[in-house]
Amino acid sequence: FLYNIKPTKLMFLFFKKLFRIFSDNHKVMQPTALGRKYYPLVKTAAVHEAGHAFGAYLANWKVKTVCVLHANEKLETASTEYNYGQDTQLVYKIETYLSNPQIFETLDGKEQSQVLEILDRRLILVHAGPIAEQKLNNIPTLIDVLHKDSLDLKRIEFIENFLNENNLDAYEVSRRAIHTIKKHFSVPETWEKVLALGEMLETENKKIDSTKVESFCLDQFV
């Protein structure tokens, strides 16, 4: 049989097979569970935003809207808009502090405590999306997810830089936030709600208001 195959064709088949082997090995080397592929980008983004939504309520805030838009199985946009309630003014005030870390030293003790409390809660909110994505796709380390999501990474680094500039333990603050989120997402009932909200976001394919989101999130944290 092999003698009837032209050498050029045999070489083509050989290199084609070799390419597939190396391609499969490359896939296995990716940070996935047992070498399997990630979930499709749209589903991953939907669960990521669902994680942010749960993080908002876990941090004692709420969401205004959550949006995952896609067309022809391609992700167009994914975002979550937050409702900080009575903390709104303080949250936006602290945003200016983050750009000027030295301001922290000029605040009195009460104001410093307020700033640190808000930043603790902000880290819960920001980390929750990447952690949901990490859990969904069984990715070994959180940093692998954050390197894919530059916006969340920049937000986290912004806060950690502020803490470090003021000789505060940024690592410990982030570790505490991550532990809090993972503890809640490890509860089967809570994780099922995260997945269900993600599924709804993917199916609805439009901006969802807080009323629908709260039907998934609120009963988990009140």
CA 58/CA 56 separation, integer angstroms: 5
Res 80: pLDDT: 96
* Whether 24 and 98 share a structural domain: no
What is the pLDDT at residue 217? 79
Give yes or no: residues 24 and 106 share one domain: no
Nearest CA to 177 out of 131, 213, 112 is that of 131
| Residue 96 CB-half CA count within 13 A | 5
- 90 and 199 assigned to the same domain: yes
Pairing of strands 207-209, 62-71: antiparallel
pLDDT number for residue 200: 96
pLDDT confidence of residue 202: 96
**107 and 195 part of one domain:** yes
Assigned domain for 61 exists: yes
The pTM for the full model equals 0.81
Domain span including residue 121: 41-221
Are residue 15 and residue 98 in the same domain, yes or no? no
pLDDT at 206: 95
The pLDDT assigned to 10 comes to 45
CATH number at residue 210: 1.20.58
My answer on whether 130 and 47 are in the same domain is yes
How far apart (Å, rounded) are the C-alpha atoms in residues 97 and 165? Answer: 12
Which positions of the chain have pLDDT values less than 70? 1-38, 149, 219-222
Residues 62 and 19 placed together within one structural domain of the fold: no
Give strand ranges (E) for the chain: 62-71, 74-83, 207-209
| Cα-based distances in Å from 69 to 77, 144, 204 | 5, 24, 9
CA pair distance 37, 47, nearest whole angstrom: 16
Torsion angle (degrees, nearest 10) of CA 211, 214, 123, 162: 30
Instruction: Count how many domains the chain has.
Output: 2
Is there a contact between 132 and 146 (Cβ–Cβ < 8 Å)?
Answer: no
